[in-house]
């Protein structure tokens, strides 16, 4: 155990290499998510659908991720992290090809579900590879190394997606994953070390079924409430069914020796507080990939290419933050960072509600750039602190639970953003969403992000100091070259 008063060690070569390779897979996933968000209005016209209701192409993928992520820890322990990671890249790439070949929304959603299955193994297992490679004192820096290349996806995605759908076909927004998948598969095969841990017991199939039913019903209910696409009775029944399945899983998990989602991890203070706050924050932030491109294209009337060039500023800000994350956390500590940076992040998200077509592009860029910078620091802090007190034997379970919660919050964020937009449109009597309707939706999701900040007050002042080498009351000066 490293001395918490010492400066953290530099990241080892193997940790850095593992982080970069895993990030290639995350790059592919993040590129895909941001490209499709920019392309949704164009795809809606091709399929003959209302652009607002095209959010099902996002939520179907996120729901698939959430349903299958809980199985990732057990599968990785049973078959090996490297083998599962490679298989996940293959499945995701095949799903991308099928998305590009889709001729209707139903086919697209089915292919997105297959993509989600690949992503469900790729994201948590990739993170698990890094957590098992890195020493505890390397975690903050390792997470930054992991996230920096992965953030290139959101930076490149919006302008690339806008360029593709403006000058080529939207189908190429999916086909570009093919070469990335091939390169990632080769790199994992050549350079990644395989890790295996004996599974605690047999696979929890009943738990997977209950989790899947609960998440599917809850998401369906949120997708349809107030939208008029189905009866109110069916919507209420689906939400009630989701809650019932969640309660049944809770009873099941208390009796099962190795439940699919191990909620005993919530007894660890740093994990439980980070997890709870992350869920709220992620729900608010998760609506951005849906609301922002839609506002620029439907509300402002911008082209997909111009929308993409503006949207990328948010991810560019996140990319700039990563090298500074470790220094910021060492200087201010996790608790102060999560509290005050969380407040500022929520305010910057709320500022998007003030966007109007008359705003200078530079002003919109500035808001998005600063907001992305702050959100990146917030997620780095949550994602690192959550694993600070987790033992090696629990790492697979912790990764499955945390990543499942992260993805479910993102799914709910898109659903709440779409629901808020639809209700605002109906209340205003607009046939298609107007700028004011998007403003209402941004205010709603920003309040959810802001609600996460006060949770940091329940953390001790020294929370996470071991991860950064920070001494209470003293911030050590970084060594030259770091």
CATH number reported for the structural domain that contains residue 354 in this entry: 1.20.1250.20
CA distance 96 to 100: 6
Say how many CA atoms lie within 13 Å of 252 toward its Cβ: 18
Same domain as 310, residue 167: no
Of the candidates 259, 285, 305, which is a domain's last residue?
259
Distances (CA, A) of 52 to 11, 95, 135, 350, 461: 44, 23, 45, 21, 44
Same domain as 370, residue 272: yes
Q: Report pTM.
A: 0.75
**What is the model's pLDDT at position 81?**
84
Lookup: tokens for 291:
């609301």
Same domain as 430, residue 320: yes
311: confidence class by pLDDT, cuts 50, 70, 90: confident
CA distance 312 to 310: 6
**Poorest-pLDDT segment among 50-54, 55-59, 290-294, 322-326:** 50-54
DSSP classification of residue 471: B
**Poorest-pLDDT segment among 134-143, 144-153, 272-281, 319-328:** 144-153
Strands (E), 305-362: none
**What is the model's pLDDT at position 11?**
62
Instruction: Give the pLDDT confidence of 387-437 residue by residue, as tens digits.
Output: 888 887 788 888 888 888 887 888 788 888 888 888 898 888 887 888 999
Same domain as 431, residue 349: yes
- Return the H-helix or E-strand segment holding 118: helix 105-133
Same domain as 63, residue 179: yes
% pLDDT > 90, the chain = 18
**What is the model's pLDDT at position 451?**
95
Same domain as 298, residue 446: yes
CA distance 262 to 353: 38
Same domain as 405, residue 323: yes
Say how many CA atoms lie within 13 Å of 14 toward its Cβ: 10
Same domain as 46, residue 74: yes
User: 216 in a domain, yes or no?
Assistant: yes
User: 190 in a domain, yes or no?
Assistant: yes
**What is the model's pLDDT at position 24?**
77
Tell me the average pLDDT across 439-460: 94
Contact 360, 108 (CB under 8 A): no
Backbone angles phi, psi at 8, to 5 degrees: -65, 145
**What is the model's pLDDT at position 474?**
43
User: 328 in a domain, yes or no?
Assistant: yes
Residue count of the chain, please give it. Answer: 482
Q: Has residue 8 got a pLDDT over 70?
A: no
Name the nearest CA neighbour of 211 among 268, 240, 252, 239: 252
- Highest mean pLDDT of the ranges 9-13, 137-141, 148-152, 428-432: 428-432
Say how many CA atoms lie within 13 Å of 54 toward its Cβ: 25
10: confidence class by pLDDT, cuts 50, 70, 90: low
Name the nearest CA neighbour of 416 among 307, 284, 296: 284
Q: Is 170 helix (H, G, I), strand (E, B) or coil?
A: coil
DSSP annotation string for 242-289: HHHHHHHHHHHHHH-SS-SS-GGGGGSHHHHHHHHHHHHHHHHHTTHH
Contact 132, 395 (CB under 8 A): yes
Instruction: Give the pLDDT confidence of 282-309 residue by residue, as tens digits.
Output: 999 888 878 888 888 888 888 777 777 7
Backbone angles phi, psi at 471, to 5 degrees: -90, 145
Q: Is 474 helix (H, G, I), strand (E, B) or coil?
A: strand
User: 477 in a domain, yes or no?
Assistant: no
- Highest mean pLDDT of the ranges 56-60, 262-266, 346-350: 346-350
**What is the model's pLDDT at position 228?**
56
Backbone angles phi, psi at 457, to 5 degrees: -65, -20
Tell me the average pLDDT across 20-34: 77
Lookup: tokens for 471:
């001494």
User: 393 in a domain, yes or no?
Assistant: yes
What is the number of H-type helices and E-type strands within the chain? 20, 0
**Poorest-pLDDT segment among 105-109, 156-160, 172-176, 440-444:** 156-160
Q: Number of structural domains, the chain? A: 3
Of the candidates 241, 259, 277, which is a domain's last residue?
259
**What is the model's pLDDT at position 153?**
61
Contact 173, 36 (CB under 8 A): yes
Backbone angles phi, psi at 474, to 5 degrees: -135, 125
Write out the residue range of the structural domain in which residue 361 sits.
264-464
Of the candidates 152, 167, 196, which is a domain's last residue?
196
53: confidence class by pLDDT, cuts 50, 70, 90: low
Neighbours of 159 (CB within 10 A): 21
Same domain as 388, residue 352: yes
Q: Name the more confident of 12 and 339.
A: 339
Tell me the average pLDDT across 313-317: 71
User: 1 in a domain, yes or no?
Assistant: no
User: 154 in a domain, yes or no?
Assistant: yes
**Poorest-pLDDT segment among 89-103, 256-270, 433-447, 467-481:** 467-481
Contact 73, 397 (CB under 8 A): yes
Same domain as 255, residue 275: no
Q: Has residue 481 got a pLDDT over 50?
A: no
Same domain as 255, residue 269: no
Neighbouring residues of 266: CB distance < 8 A, sequence distance ≥ 6: 272, 275
DSSP annotation string for 378-402: HHHHHHHHTTTT--GGGHHHHHHHH
Same domain as 322, residue 254: no
Q: Name the more confident of 84 and 231.
A: 84
147: confidence class by pLDDT, cuts 50, 70, 90: low
User: 479 in a domain, yes or no?
Assistant: no
DSSP classification of residue 470: P
Q: Name the more confident of 158 and 19.
A: 19
- Highest mean pLDDT of the ranges 65-79, 96-110, 222-236: 96-110
């Amino acid at each position: 155990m490293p001395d918490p008063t010492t400066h953290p060690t530099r990241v080892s070569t193997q940790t850095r290499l593992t982080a970069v390779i895993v990030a290639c897979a995350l790059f592919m996933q993040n590129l895909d998510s941001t490209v499709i968000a920019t392309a949704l209005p164009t795809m809606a016209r091709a399929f003959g659908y209302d652009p607002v209701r095209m959010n099902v192409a996002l939520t179907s993928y996120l729901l698939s991720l959430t349903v299958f992520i809980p199985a990732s820890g057990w599968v990785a322990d049973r078959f090996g992290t490297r083998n599962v990671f490679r298989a996940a890249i293959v499945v995701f790439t095949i799903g991308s090809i099928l998305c590009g070949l889709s001729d209707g929304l139903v086919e697209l959603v089915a292919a997105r579900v297959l993509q989600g299955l690949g992503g469900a193994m790729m994201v948590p297992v990739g993170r698990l590879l890094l957590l098992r490679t890195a020493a505890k004192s390397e975690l903050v820096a390792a997470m930054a190394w992991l996230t920096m290349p992965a953030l290139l996806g959101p930076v490149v995605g919006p302008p690339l997606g806008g360029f593709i759908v403006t000058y080529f076909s939207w189908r190429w927004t999916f086909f570009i994953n093919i070469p990335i998948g091939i390169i990632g598969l080769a790199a994992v095969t050549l350079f990644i070390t395989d890790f295996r841990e004996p599974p605690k017991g047999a696979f929890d199939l009943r738990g997977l079924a209950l989790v899947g039913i609960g998440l599917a019903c809850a998401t369906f209910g949120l997708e349809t409430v107030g939208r008029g696409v189905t009866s109110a009775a069916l919507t209420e029944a689906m939400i009630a069914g989701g809650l019932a399945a969640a309660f049944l899983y809770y009873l099941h998990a208390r009796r099962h020796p190795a439940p699919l989602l191990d909620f005993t991890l919530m007894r660890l203070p740093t994990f439980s507080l980070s997890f709870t706050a992350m869920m709220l924050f992620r729900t608010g932030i998760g609506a951005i990939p849906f609301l922002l491109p839609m506002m620029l294209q439907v509300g402002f009337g911008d082209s997909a290419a111009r929308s993409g060039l503006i949207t990328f500023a948010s991810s560019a800000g996140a990319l700039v933050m990563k090298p500074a994350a470790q220094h910021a956390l060492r200087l201010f500590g996790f608790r102060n960072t999560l509290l005050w940076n969380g407040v500022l992040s929520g305010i910057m998200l709320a500022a998007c509600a003030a966007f109007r077509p008359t705003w200078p592009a530079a002003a919109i860029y500035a808001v998005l750039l600063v907001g992305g910078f702050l959100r990146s620091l917030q997620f780095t802090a949550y994602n690192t602190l959550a694993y600070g007190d987790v033992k090696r034997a629990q790492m697979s379970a912790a990764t499955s639970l945390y990543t499942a919660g992260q993805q479910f919050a993102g799914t709910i964020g898109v659903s709440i953003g779409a629901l808020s937009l639809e209700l605002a449109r109906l209340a205003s009597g607009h046939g298609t969403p107007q700028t004011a309707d998007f403003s209402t939706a941004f205010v709603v999701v920003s309040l959810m992000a802001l609600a996460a900040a006060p949770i940091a007050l329940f953390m001790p002042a020294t929370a996470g100091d071991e991860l950064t080498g920070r001494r209470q009351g003293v911030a050590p000066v970084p060594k030259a070259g770091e």
